[in-house]
Structure 1
Amino acid sequence: MCYYLTGKKETLGFIYTDSALRREIPKACIDMYHDCFGYGRKSITRLLQVQIVDALRSNERSRASSLLSELGRGNYSLRADDFIYILEHCSKSPDPLFVMEIWRIMDEKEVHVNNRCYMLSIQALCKGGYLEEAFNLLNFVGENHDIHPILPMYNNFLRGCVQTRSLLHANQCLDLMEHQVLGKNEVTYSQFLKLAVLQQNLSAAHKIWKEYMTYYSMSIISLRKFIWSFTRLRDLESAYAALQHMVDLVFKGSIFINKSAEGRLCSSRLDIPIPKNGDMGLKRCMEENEHSLPSVSDNSKKIDSHASNVEDSTIFYMGSKEDKGFGINMLEKYKGMPVMKVLRWSFSDVIYACAQTQNCGLAEQLILQMQNLGLEPSCHTYDGLIKAIVSDRGFSDGMEVLKTMQLRNLKPYDSTLAALSIGSSKALQLDLAESLLDQISRISYVHPFNAFLAACDTLDQPERAVPILSKMKQLKLQPNVGTYELLFSLFGNVNAPYEEGNMLSQVDVARRIKAIEMDMMNNGIQHSHLSMKNLLKALGAEGMIRELMQYLHVAENQFFRTNTYLGTPIYNTVLHSLVEAKESHIAIEIFKNMISRSLPRDAATYNIMIDCCSTIKCYKSACALVSMMMRDGFLPWTLTYTALIKILLEREDFDEALNLLDQARLEEIPSDVLLYNTILQKACLKGRIDLIELVAEQMHQEKIQPDPSTCYYVFSSYVDGGFFSTALESLQVLSMRMISEDNSTLEEKRTELEDFIHSEDKDAESQILQFFKGSDENLAIALLNLRWCAISGSPISWTPNESLWARRLFNSHGSRKRAS
């Protein structure tokens, strides 16, 4: 096993006679120098080792290499001990490259290398990430009959595999250990556990547990490692059982914990290697990477399946005086000892895993157990508990825990406040979310602020985002690209929903976009695909077509310089805006350009262009686009049929439109309300009540809930025809179907919603409009419609299918679905 670098064998040796001066001396002079001054070989090599290490510590690598060459050119035979001091330094630094230089010298001088040299070399190479070279050394030791491989070498290599996340080298090491019939010790099992976590292989972790229990009795430290691994593999049942085992050991006094020289907690008992005794199948289990969920042991206690139903009032229940006193008395003697730290760490591990798996019930049980044991929860513990509760039950219960912390004079972490704020933002509770963000004094990540901005975007309240941006600036928290993506969405549109852009709003949009882009440039952040898409979408919504095209060209140039494709979604955004603005000729040019440049198109691209054909009223072109779409591997979908039907309706070809609708049903293309509303809109304009009733019944048969547009088209058709009572009846039926198509569901909601319809409170309409804030537009419109029907004197029935209008439509057109 040789590591030759550069250099030639010389016949001259070098020696320092002064720390600042080096002289070249013939071999005979060196011998005479040794005789005169009494320097032995050991003293000279020791001196050179010290000087080499000093040079490495001073980062004088050239001088260190020269000194190493001098060491190799001495007239004395070298031994492994003559390199140990240097190798020890290289293993701690680490310095794998200098280790390879040392091996070149040792090979040239034919030094008999001992286990210590191999150990330190492997350790240095592994720490430095040179796993291939380390494995070659390890393999060489195994093949060399003069050297007996020792387990710490393999443990060091496995530790390096964990640090570099190299599963390939880990498997090679396991093969080698099997081949060498090598045993294992507790350190080996610890590395096996880390590898299992790295692979997310729960089955292997349980195999390790079983094999470990065969040869060792569990200690506090080993249990701590198993608990850590189970929590990261999201096996709460096993982690919980292991934690209870740890508590049991503490009560029995089975504690073996010391501090190492580096200050780390470690087991005080002897770590005796277990000889190889049969194949437990561990390597095979790790390679198979099975994700089964065996129990930790046959006697492990299962987690109570009803843990999530723990009453809120018992979350901080301290237990009876007897129970609490028993726990405190048992653990009083361990106060201030390392075992208490290990206990708290393990409890926290499991509680944080509860947050990841949304099991707040178990987290509450663990908090209760800690209190009964006399382990007072810390701010860190509560941080995990609150995150578990927020992830499972929402921010409201998390706020109750926060109040309990404050009663105990515990100041929550900024991360705790951030988790609660994120939960509040997701629930669209902006006031609470903002209040929590105001309490944050220091935070390094922008996620809670982005969550608040996203809530403002959902509620279309950009003004609420302004103070939060000021808070970010106050905390010196730099926005990320996600922040700017939201800012373009928030501030890109000036007009409220359903309003069109005008000259004043367009000037305001241009000013806002310029300000956001200037801030991006100051923070060194480039546009992402989403930020550019949101910017272009804002321009399109305002009808700023000229600016839209300018930014499209800017985006193409920017992403071209970074060798990044602009992205089909961005082109789709531009095409959609152009079609909405009736700029069909520009949309067609962009689409042709995409084809000529072989830019990828998706189903949305083709559907947008098919919709464009409705503007130019060209059904032939639409059919040609459908053919291109299918050649590119995209099958026509609901949007495709909607666009084609829209073109036929523009030509007033109702019969062909209905035939196309039947074809979509035969091909099992799912229908949606937009498809049917397209027909209803045109039928309403043309006064085709027969089509209105046909489509309304077909929607009901297909279980497609109407929306406000559906109600408008049907109601207006009857009113325009002079059928006022039928108009009211149809409006009531369709409004009920907007709430639900299922009669049983309607009956369940009746108690909750009936008061809104018949209330004599002057603020009843305002209360109904609150549903808009919850993004439940259809429910709000349905209740307003029903309230208006009731005011008009129409009796409200919660069984809409029993109305005369509904029954007549079913008798007239229900057979159409049965026949098809």
Structure 2
Amino acid sequence: MAILSNNFVAGATLSTQFAGCLCAIRSRHLQWLGSVMMHKLSLVSDVKGETSCSNSVRLNESSAVRVVLSTAIPGLICEEEKEEDVVPIENEEIESSFHENGLVPWGGSDFDDFGSALGGVNEGPATSESVVVSQQGVQFLEEMDAEVLSKRVLVLSRRNKVRSALELFRSMELAGLHPNAHACNSLLSSLLRNGLNDNAMRVFRFMKDKTITTQHTYSLMLKAVAHAQGCDSSLRMFMELEEEGLGNKDFDVVVYNTIISICGRKNYWHKCERLWMKMKEDGLTATKVTYSLLISVFIRCGQYELAIDAYKEMVQNGYKPNADISQAIIKACTKEGKSDLALSIYHNMLNNGIEPNLITCNALINSLGKVGKVELAFKVYNITKSLGHTPDAYTMNALVSALYRASRPGDALLLFDNIMREQPSQLNIHLYNNALMSCSKLGLWNRALQLLWKMETSGLSLSTASCNLVISACEVARKPEIALQVYEHMIYKNCPPDMFTHLSLVRSCIWGSLWTEIEEILKQVSPNASLYNAVIQGMCLRGKIDSAKKMYTRMHEKGLKPDGKTRALMLQNLQKS
């Protein structure tokens, strides 16, 4: 038993010594692996020209040993790395980290100088300086397959782990690899989303140098430049890229839509038109989005003809306009007086199950009324009610105005009376003026006075245009005394008369032979050739030749020039005398 016990103790001692030797051997082996990895990294750094630069790649001993340990003993990864793989980096942490590493915000980039900001094609191939490398911004790449690493960059970018994605991107570049276009675009989008615009510009320059840019790349950068530097800088960047010959090769309709949208925000309609023409020259077919952008910009800027042209081309290319486009084009047609085209688009909307809104219906009713198509205007009015819209003051005003323009002032007054009786809340100064125009046309001076009194009692302010219409009604009815009373009421209410007030009043007084009142009016107003012409012509027609001669002489003394009719009447009466 003693012998067995001694053997057992000796065996345990030998096993302990053997385990210690194994540990020492493993430790020396790990130290050797670490020195080898440090040597390899230094060789890579020397090849890339980074050995003497302040931004050189350096891995300290602890990080190198940790990499070796993670390689030699799988599963030996610290908890920080596990957490970094699942916890998104906050924006504050990203910004502070990059500022500490000397990465300036986009304000440091000068987009006014295209060559320095983007790195034109005349520059040499991108080196490691094209992406700023921090002292701890490199990862050891176990995997050397570019596609596998590209997927990792893509996943990190989508998870908003910008720091890890950018470090992996830097490491790939130092190893002579580069991510594919999809991964670069995702990284570019993530950088822009987090406000790291300076780094985004460097990634863009890298992609441009490696010729892996896509249409999505240019769209991202154009929008980013527009946000940071404005529309002009973005447009200048677009034009410079075209001059480099990238336009015909890489620009598609999406890129054009992006720059058109950017210009449209500043209402640069002429630049949008030029881009539209350039698309055609490049053989690109505009999409529905293109036409929607163009129509919106053109209508907002009052370029209705261009909007209609874009709409016609859109229909010719087989695109069906939606409700917004159709209603916008109806507005453009009504502004240009193209009521037939507006009515055709209106019918197409109804046939396609699209309900026009009240504003569109009102615009169409008003447009039809202006060209005398009263029956069609009332048909649209009935359809408007059937769609569930409640006609407003604009609707009723368009209908009353349509009847007046169609030389149906009596019907216009009947419709106005119906509105006053059934929808008094819709009455406004425009409806009253339309009714007063009908009274003036028919010479209904008493009805005009009633409406003027109704306006004042309903709280509407007395306007010069309304009083002029009442005086005009008195002129047609040969009621100069009433016209003078309305004129005095205007002065009392501090409603300033204008030239049309005095002209109508003078003509009314001529028919009533109120010459004294005419003299008083001429004394109160500043000398005006139209007034003197009206007075002289009225005197000649009423047989007051001597008074006409005196007024003609006074007119010349005041330096006023008579019109052709006045001169003809004076010559005719001088020959008779």
TM-score by length of 1: 0.38
Residue aligned with 2:426, SS: coil
Match of 1:707 in 2: none
Whichever residue aligns with residue 371 of structure 1, its letter is M
Match of 2:395 in 1: 570
Q: CA separation of 1:455/1:433 partners in 2, compared to 1, >3 Å: closer, same or farther?
A: farther
2:372 maps to 1:543: yes
Q: CA separation of 1:329/1:490 partners in 2, compared to 1, >3 Å: closer, same or farther?
A: closer
Of 591, 597, 608, the residue aligned with 2:434 is 608
Match of 1:185 in 2: none
Alignment of 1:665-814 (within 5 A): 665=494, 676-679=498-501, 682=504, 723=556, 726-727=559-560
Equivalent-residue separation in structure 1 for 2:412 and 2:133 (angstroms): 78
Contact persistence 2:279–2:285 (CA under 8 A)? yes
Contact persistence 1:446–1:477 (CA under 8 A)? no
Equivalent-residue separation in structure 2 for 1:407 and 1:620 (angstroms): 74
Match of 1:330 in 2: 133
Contact persistence 1:478–1:523 (CA under 8 A)? no
* 1:485 to partner: Cα distance: 3.2
Of 191, 201, 209, the residue aligned with 1:371 is 201
Of 581, 590, 593, the residue aligned with 2:415 is 590
Of 323, 328, 334, the residue aligned with 1:481 is 323
The Cα offsets for residues 494-515 of structure 1, whole Å up to 9 and x where unpaired, read as 87xxxxxxxxxxxx955x4553
Whichever residue aligns with residue 237 of structure 2, its letter is V
Structure with the larger RCO, 1 or 2 (CA within 8 Å, 6+ apart): 2
Of 221, 225, 229, the residue aligned with 1:382 is 221
* 1:519 to partner: Cα distance: 2.2
The Cα offsets for residues 522-565 of structure 1, whole Å up to 9 and x where unpaired, read as 43222321222222222211122343334333433x23xx3x31
Contact persistence 1:602–1:634 (CA under 8 A)? no
Contact persistence 1:629–1:635 (CA under 8 A)? yes
Equivalent-residue separation in structure 2 for 1:541 and 1:635 (angstroms): 27
Q: CA separation of 1:718/1:725 partners in 2, compared to 1, >3 Å: closer, same or farther?
A: farther
2:360 maps to 1:531: yes
Equivalent-residue separation in structure 1 for 2:465 and 2:90 (angstroms): 58
Equivalent-residue separation in structure 2 for 1:384 and 1:712 (angstroms): 60
Equivalent-residue separation in structure 1 for 2:533 and 2:224 (angstroms): 56
The Cα offsets for residues 457-511 of structure 1, whole Å up to 9 and x where unpaired, read as x4564xx55542243235544323343334444445887xxxxxxxxxxxx955x
Equivalent-residue separation in structure 2 for 1:302 and 1:397 (angstroms): 17
Equivalent-residue separation in structure 2 for 1:447 and 1:519 (angstroms): 18
Contact persistence 1:418–1:436 (CA under 8 A)? no
Q: CA separation of 1:374/1:580 partners in 2, compared to 1, >3 Å: closer, same or farther?
A: closer
Contact persistence 1:328–1:373 (CA under 8 A)? yes
Q: CA separation of 1:576/1:248 partners in 2, compared to 1, >3 Å: closer, same or farther?
A: same
Contact persistence 1:533–1:569 (CA under 8 A)? yes
Alignment of 1:176-191 (within 5 A): none
* 1:585 to partner: Cα distance: 1.4
2:379 maps to 1:553: no
Of 516, 519, 523, the residue aligned with 2:348 is 519
TM-score by length of 2: 0.51
Equivalent-residue separation in structure 2 for 1:566 and 1:629 (angstroms): 22
The Cα offsets for residues 610-645 of structure 1, whole Å up to 9 and x where unpaired, read as 343333333443443355446655444565455445
Alignment of 1:260-279 (within 5 A): none
Equivalent-residue separation in structure 2 for 1:374 and 1:460 (angstroms): 39
Residue aligned with 2:320, SS: coil
Contact persistence 1:648–1:656 (CA under 8 A)? no
Contact persistence 1:484–1:516 (CA under 8 A)? yes
Match of 2:210 in 1: none
Cα-Cα RMSD: 5.3
Equivalent-residue separation in structure 1 for 2:343 and 2:286 (angstroms): 31
Q: CA separation of 1:311/1:330 partners in 2, compared to 1, >3 Å: closer, same or farther?
A: closer
2:255 maps to 1:413: yes
Contact persistence 1:417–1:440 (CA under 8 A)? no
The Cα offsets for residues 319-360 of structure 1, whole Å up to 9 and x where unpaired, read as 999xx9767232684894631489744664488xxxxxxxxx
Match of 1:454 in 2: 299
More helix by share: 2
Alignment of 1:617-628 (within 5 A): 617-628=443-454
Whichever residue aligns with residue 380 of structure 1, its letter is S
The Cα offsets for residues 641-671 of structure 1, whole Å up to 9 and x where unpaired, read as 5544554665556644543443453xxx7x7
Match of 1:401 in 2: 237
Q: CA separation of 1:350/1:590 partners in 2, compared to 1, >3 Å: closer, same or farther?
A: farther
Number of residues of Structure 1 aligned to a counterpart in Structure 2: 384
Contact persistence 2:222–2:237 (CA under 8 A)? no
Equivalent-residue separation in structure 1 for 2:557 and 2:274 (angstroms): 48
Contact persistence 1:630–1:636 (CA under 8 A)? yes
Equivalent-residue separation in structure 2 for 1:555 and 1:487 (angstroms): 18
Q: CA separation of 1:482/1:443 partners in 2, compared to 1, >3 Å: closer, same or farther?
A: closer
Contact persistence 2:326–2:349 (CA under 8 A)? yes
Contact persistence 1:481–1:531 (CA under 8 A)? no
Equivalent-residue separation in structure 2 for 1:548 and 1:375 (angstroms): 60
* 1:424 to partner: Cα distance: 8.3
Q: CA separation of 1:447/1:596 partners in 2, compared to 1, >3 Å: closer, same or farther?
A: same
Contact persistence 2:409–2:442 (CA under 8 A)? yes
Q: CA separation of 1:444/1:656 partners in 2, compared to 1, >3 Å: closer, same or farther?
A: same
Of 386, 391, 404, the residue aligned with 1:579 is 404
Residue aligned with 2:356, SS: coil
2:98 maps to 1:250: yes
Equivalent-residue separation in structure 2 for 1:250 and 1:575 (angstroms): 69
Contact persistence 1:536–1:574 (CA under 8 A)? yes
Equivalent-residue separation in structure 1 for 2:261 and 2:457 (angstroms): 49
Match of 1:153 in 2: none
Q: CA separation of 1:471/1:637 partners in 2, compared to 1, >3 Å: closer, same or farther?
A: same
Equivalent-residue separation in structure 2 for 1:691 and 1:303 (angstroms): 71
Give the gaps of 5 or more residues in structure 1: 1-218, 225-241, 255-300, 352-365, 496-507, 698-710, 729-820
Equivalent-residue separation in structure 2 for 1:315 and 1:719 (angstroms): 72
Equivalent-residue separation in structure 2 for 1:717 and 1:312 (angstroms): 67
Give the gaps of 5 or more residues in structure 2: 1-85, 140-149, 167-184, 208-216, 511-517, 538-551, 562-577
Match of 1:186 in 2: none
Equivalent-residue separation in structure 2 for 1:477 and 1:662 (angstroms): 60
Alignment of 1:415-454 (within 5 A): 415-420=257-262, 422=264, 427=269, 431-432=273-274, 434-435=276-277, 438=280, 439=284, 441-444=286-289, 447-451=292-296, 454=299
Equivalent-residue separation in structure 2 for 1:316 and 1:622 (angstroms): 73
Q: Percent identity?
A: 10
